[in-house]
Amino acid sequence: MKYLLILCAFLFSFTASEPMRVFLIGDSTMADKVSADFPETGWGMPFASFFNEAVEVQNHAYNGRSTKSFRREGRWAKVFNQIKKGDYVLIQFGHNDAKVSDTSRYAPAQTDFRENLVRYVRETRSKGGIPILLTPTQRRKFDSTGVFVDQHADYPAVVREVAKAEKVLLIDIEKESKKYIAAEGPEGAKKMFLHYPAGIFKKFSKGVADDTHFSPFGAKKIASLVAEGILASNEHLRSFLQKSSFSQKYVFELPNVATTAFKKDTFNIVSYGAVSSASKLNTSAIQQAIDIAAKQGGGVVRVPAGFFVTGAITLRSNINFHLDAGAVLQFSADAAQYPLVRTNWEGVDAIRAQSPITAIGERNIAITGSGIIDGNGEAWRPVKKGKLTPGEWDKLVRSGGVLDDKKDTWYPTERALKGSKMDQPGVIAAGFTEAKAEEIKEFLRPNMISLRECEQILLEGVTFQNSPAWNVHPLLCKHLTVENITVKNPWFAQNGDGIDIESCEYVSVRNSKFDVGDDGICLKSGKDAEGRKRGRPSAHIAIENCVVFHGHGGVVVGSEMSGGVHDLFVSNCQFLGTDVGLRFKTARGRGGVVENVYIQDISMKNISGEAILFDMYYQGKDPVATFGNGDETPKIESKPVDAGTPQFKNIFVDRVVAKGAETGLLVRGLPEMPIHHIYLSNLDIEAKQSYRVIEATDVQLSNANFTQTGDKKPELINVKRWKLNAQ
């Protein structure tokens, strides 16, 4: 009994371990905000989400405080009295210490400010706590020539000196935020701060231009810089940073996409003369509504329920183009409504018909709602006889248009047929001018939605269908959010891609459905020498909870990837009847590097070709034929490595289930540039041939189960460091 009592006392003397605590002390750039302050956000608010449940973050930062006033008001005492051994205290001041006119806050950099920092550090240590010093965040300020202007005087330097003297971890936010703000430039940097027109947020009903305090995006950016500094340190705190669902990455490393915000003012296109009709052209009325709204600071341009026919229209900054439920915006079949313009096609500069919806260099734009945008693509697209039933083919031929010499491809006009016989039709480098392009205008099919060099874009809720060429094409854009859209094209639509994200950065595609005639969700970055010269990768892209019902590929990278693709995150997607599931394609001459790709939780069914494909011999053909890309087996020969040699590397694929495919995994690299460092885990794939791997290095499959339903044996050809661990 005695021993039992001792044992019980021993056991009950222990309590549940307390969480590691992180105290934040500083000013308004760090502080928590109340809901009425939105969108103003202190960086301490998202910072807490970057740690796992074993960490408690207490944000004691407060608006307007300096090292002096924070202590004088008793705020430091509240923190100091709680500190226990192993707790961390992050200390960031400087903005308000510099306020010479306010004696309650002013602390000269070289004297009081320095002494106050030293006291915070030493007092933290006296309780067994661990101090971390942060330099103050930069403000957005540029001179008339666009050169960044520093406003912090000696304060950051003093923080650095104190950190060095006291042997404290320094996270140099001043340096890193300056680097980012300067790189973004005067306009791009606005998204970090509070720059909003009147009429959007209650607190800032008259508008706001604040270059000190952060937007939600800016706060998360600074919090990520702090987390990055912790990860790079030797502090124990780094082990508590929250891993994302992608095991190789932390939460703070995932793409941070800046969102849109619009005035509530509404401009109904009917008020400007638009009429619901099967034939009336409403181009001028719709464009007038957009232009007037833009001149008044933006707002919602509303397309009400009804059927509205229009020609090409152009979006402007701060416009939310909104289609009500029951609204159909049908683009005219008349090619004259789409003037020839200099643009970009399949990665090269070209002359094409203007897209039905265009935005160039605009900021804060959206297409939202529940309506339908129809591109009238049948007026533009050629159709191959082999893709229709005999009855469908006869009906199409009787409708008009012309056939090619072989009588197996239909074109809508003689000009479209003429273009099909030309070399590099419409390509500016091939000598095409607007006059020459006019002779083949219908061949120069436009992409339906063309967004070029725009920033902060939202596509939400709308159905985009029946495009002349690609459906949605953001090019050289930043901060694009795609949410809950539906993209549809006939399965036989030539170049009928769903969305082609080209040379874009910071993109989120979520909860969307694609049923198209070519690639479903595609990442590109320019073609060959022109793409390499442009040098703009597609990067920091998240694709989540999407379904592709039909298409040449589910999620596709390439083949125009000459500017590179990196930091791509794909999760929880389903491919149901696509030709290929995960499709990575390129060819000699492209150049560019595809790397740091993270894919997980993919389900596939009825894949005509490969479930997972990495191919450096793309031939521009439908991918359902032999060997992944066409009827011809390419000649395998080694060539010198040069600027046109592409690379696929550092690709992680986890948790894939595929029921029914021609080939489970096809990896086909170049002799001079094998595909390398590919990691696939937790695969359950049913296919006629399990895998075929050619010219590859460091390919690792773990917990991989292949159920082979055909006679072709798995193949390894010129593969080094191959590792397969089955279930």
Question: Mutual orientation of helices 173-188 and 155-166 as an angle, nearest 10°?
Answer: 150
C-alpha radius of gyration, the chain, whole number? 29
| Residue of 574, 472, 459, 564 lying closest to 518 (CA atoms) | 472
Alpha helical stretches, state H, 460-545: 528-534
What residues are paired with 331 via a beta bridge? Answer: 310
Phi, psi for residue 219 in degrees, rounded to 5: -65, -45
First-to-final CA distance of the chain: 51
Separation of alpha carbons 638 and 475, rounded Å = 34
- Helix count (H) and strand count (E) of the chain? 13, 41
Residues 367 and 449 sit within 8 Å (Cβ to Cβ): yes
374: annotated active-site residue: no
CA distance 646 to 618: 12
Question: Which residue stretches of 263-380 are H helix?
Answer: 283-295
Q: At 132, which helix (H) or strand (E)? A: strand 130-134
Give CA–CA dist 694/719, Å, rounded.
6
Q: 288 with 314: CB under 8 angstroms? A: no
Rounded CA separation 711/684 (Å): 19
Q: Which residues contact 620 (CB under 8 A, 6 or more apart)?
A: 559
What sign does the dihedral 10-16-17-22 (CA atoms) show?
A: negative
Element spanning 313, H or E: strand 313-314
Give the DSSP letter string of 140-166.
--B-TTS-B----TTHHHHHHHHHHHH
Main-chain phi, psi angles of 50, to 5 degrees: -85, 0
What is the DSSP pairing of strand 348-353 with strand 409-411? unpaired
Q: Which residues are CB-contacts of 618 (< 8 A; sequence separation ≥ 6)? A: 558, 559, 585, 586, 587, 629
Reply yes or no on whether 60 is catalytic: no
Are residues 459 and 481 in contact, defined by beta-carbon separation less than 8 angstroms? yes
Q: How many residues does the chain have?
A: 727
Helix-helix angle 173-188:216-231, to 10 degrees: 150
Of the residues 27, 518, 528, 654, only one is catalytic, namely: 518
Q: In angstroms, rounded to a whole number, what is the distance separating the alpha carbons of residues 402 and 387?
A: 17
Residue among 479, 552, 567, 579 flagged as catalytic: 552
Residue 592 in contact with residue 564, Cβ under 8 Å? yes
What are the tokens at 575?
Answer: 């491919």
How many degrees, rounded to 5, is the angle at CA 227 between CA 226 and CA 232? 100
Q: Are 617 and 589 in contact (CB under 8 A)?
A: no
Phi, psi at 238, each rounded to 5°:
-60, -30
SS3 content of the chain, % helix, strand, coil (to 5): 25, 35, 40
Residues labelled as active-site residues: 518, 552
